[in-house]
Amino acid sequence: MGDEVTGPALRHWDHPAYTARLQAGRTALAQLLADRRLDRDRPMTGLELELDLVEPTGDPAFANDAVLEHLHTSGEEDALYGAQHELGAFNIELNLPPRLLDGAGISWYEGDLAAVLSEVREAGDKAGVKVCPIGTMPTLFTDHMSVEALSRTRRYRILNDEIMSQRGEDLRIDIRGAESVDFTSSSIAPEAANTSVQFHLQVSPEDFARYWNAAQAIAGVQVAMGANSPYLFGRQLWAETRVILFEQGTDTRRANQREAGARPRAWFGERWIDGVLDLFDENYKHFAPLLPLCDEEDPLAVTAAGGVPSLRELRYHNGTVYRWNRPVYDVASGRPHVRVENRVVAAGPTAVDICANMALFYGLVVHFANAPVPLSERMDFAQAASNFRSAARHGIQADQWWPGRGLVPARKLVLEDLLPAAAEGLAEMGVVSRDIGRFLGIIESRCRRGVNGASWQVARVQVAEHRQRLERRDALRAMVLDYAARSADGRPVHDWEV
C-alpha cells in the first residue's frame, strides 16, 4: 500500500482484466506453496507506526507534506525511518527495518523507535507542528471533514473515489458508547482519524494457520491492554474507537448489501483457517477491487519459469481488505515469504509502550501457536470475535472469555495466566530475560493500576473539564498537548500524572 498509483496504471484500470489477474496471482501463490518455494528461515519481525501531527493549539496539523520534506532533506538515510504519507494530511507512517527478535531485539526496537521519533519531532519543529502517536485524533472535529483532510497523494484520492463510488451514498459514522456520534461524510476523511502500530511476523507457510488463528484468539487481550482511542469528533465513545470507526469509515457496502449480510472491509473474520490461501480466497469472494492495475507481470509465466512473482495485484487488493490480522505475501532479497500483520493495537503512547505491546503480542502468539492443543480447538471463533468487540468498547476494564476460566476480567486474566505464557513465548524466541521482564512488566503495571492510554486520556479530559472548567473542545486540546509532551519524555503511560 506504500506504492504510489501511477498514470500508466490508471490507463489500464479494467475491472474484468484486473479480476482475472487477481485469480492468476492466487493460482501462482498456490503453486509456490505446493512447490515449497516460500522462505522458511528463522522468523523475521517488523514494525510500522502511524503518527498524527498537531498544531501548537492542539488542533490537527494538515502538514504531512512539509514534515516529510524536512525528513527527506535532513541528511539522514531515508531507510532509517521509511517515512511516507498516510491517509490523512495530518498523518505520516514510519517503517522500521525487519529484524530477528532474539537477544535484545525488543530493546533495539525501542532504541530505534525513540531515535526515529526524535527525528520526526525535529522535522515537526521545523514545520511548526508537534508529533502525537495516538489511536484516534481527539481534536479532529466534524468541521475538519472534507476531502481536503486527505493526503494529496494520488493513491489515497483514488481510494476515496473508489470507496465512495462502490458505496453509492455518503458514509455514516454512527457510534454509541459513553457518548454518541452520528455524522455523515461525503468522503473517507473520518477514517484518517485512526492511527495504529502494526507488528509483522514472518512464518513458515505450513505454520501460517496456527499463527493467524492464535493472533485472532488473543486480539481481544491486546486491545484491552493497549486501548488508546476514546475520543472522536469531541465525544467519548469506545476505549478503542478505532475498531468501529475503521469498520464504518471504509464501508463500501450499499444499503441492500449491508442488509443482506455482506462483510465490511474492516473485518475480524468468520472462522478459523486451515492455510493462508483461505484468507486470499475470502478476499476474492467478498471484496471487489479498489485500486488500479499496477504491474504488467504474468505471475503464472514467472512462476512456471522458476522465477519469483511480485503478485502486485494480489498485494494491492489484500491491502484494501482491512483485517485486524492480515495475511501478507512479500518478496525480500529475491525470496518470497508469507507473514502475519497484526493491526489491532493503537499507536502510542510512547516508544516503550509500543514495545511492551510488541512483547505481549509476540510472546502470546508464539506460545499459543506452538501449544499442544491450539486455542482454535478450545475456543469458538465467535467467542474470539466477541472478546475483541468487548475489549474495544471497554478497554482495560473489559471482561474476556477464556478456555478453562470462563468470563474473567482482562486484567486478572493477563496477570494470572497470560503474562507467564507470553514470557514463555518470548523465551522460545530467544529474547533475553532482561527484556522479557522489563517490557512485560509494563503490561503488568497497566493491569495493576488499571491505566492505559485510553483511561489516561479520559481522566485527563475530566480534570480539564471539572478542575480547570474548560469546555470539551478546549479540554481535548489541552489533553492532546499534554499527551504529546509526555509522549516525548518517554515514560510509560501508566506512570503519567493527570
- pLDDT, tens digit, for every residue of 2-25? 455 554 445 446 778 888 889 999
Q: Which residues of 95-118 are buried (b: 16+ CB within 10 A; e: fewer)?
A: bbeeebbeeebbbbbbebbbebbe
Q: What is the mean pLDDT of residues 147-158?
A: 91
Cβ–Cβ under 8 Å, residues 67 and 127 = yes
**Which of 38-42, 43-47, 220-224 is predicted with the least confidence, judged by mean pLDDT?**
38-42
DSSP three-state, residue 157: helix
Checking if the pLDDT of 77 tops 50, the result is no
DSSP single-letter state for residue 471? -
Checking if the pLDDT of 73 tops 90, the result is no
DSSP string, 28-56: HHHHHHHTT-S--SSPPEEEEEEEEEE-T
Checking if the pLDDT of 79 tops 60, the result is no
Q: What is the mean pLDDT of residues 455-468?
A: 97
Helices (H), 298-339: 299-304, 312-319
pLDDT at position 228: 98
Checking if the pLDDT of 76 tops 70, the result is no
- pLDDT, tens digit, for every residue of 159-207? 999 999 999 999 999 999 999 999 999 999 999 999 999 999 999 999 9
pLDDT at position 17: 80
Bridge-partner residues for 407, per DSSP?
Answer: 401
pLDDT at position 81: 66
pLDDT-based confidence at 292, cuts 50/70/90?
low
Q: What is the mean pLDDT of residues 437-458?
A: 98
- pLDDT, tens digit, for every residue of 345-391? 999 999 999 999 999 999 999 999 999 999 999 999 999 999 999 99
Checking if the pLDDT of 78 tops 80, the result is no
DSSP string, 202-220: EE-GGGHHHHHHHHHHHHH
CA-based nearest residue to 232, from 220, 245, 221, 219:
245
Q: What is the mean pLDDT of residues 295-303?
A: 91
Q: Letter for the amino acid at 230?
A: P
pLDDT at position 127: 97
Count CB-CB contacts under 10 A for residue 35: 10
Mean pLDDT of the chain: 93
Q: What is the mean pLDDT of residues 306-322?
A: 94
pLDDT at position 41: 73
Q: Quick one: what percent of the chain has pLDDT higher than 90?
A: 88
pLDDT at position 11: 47
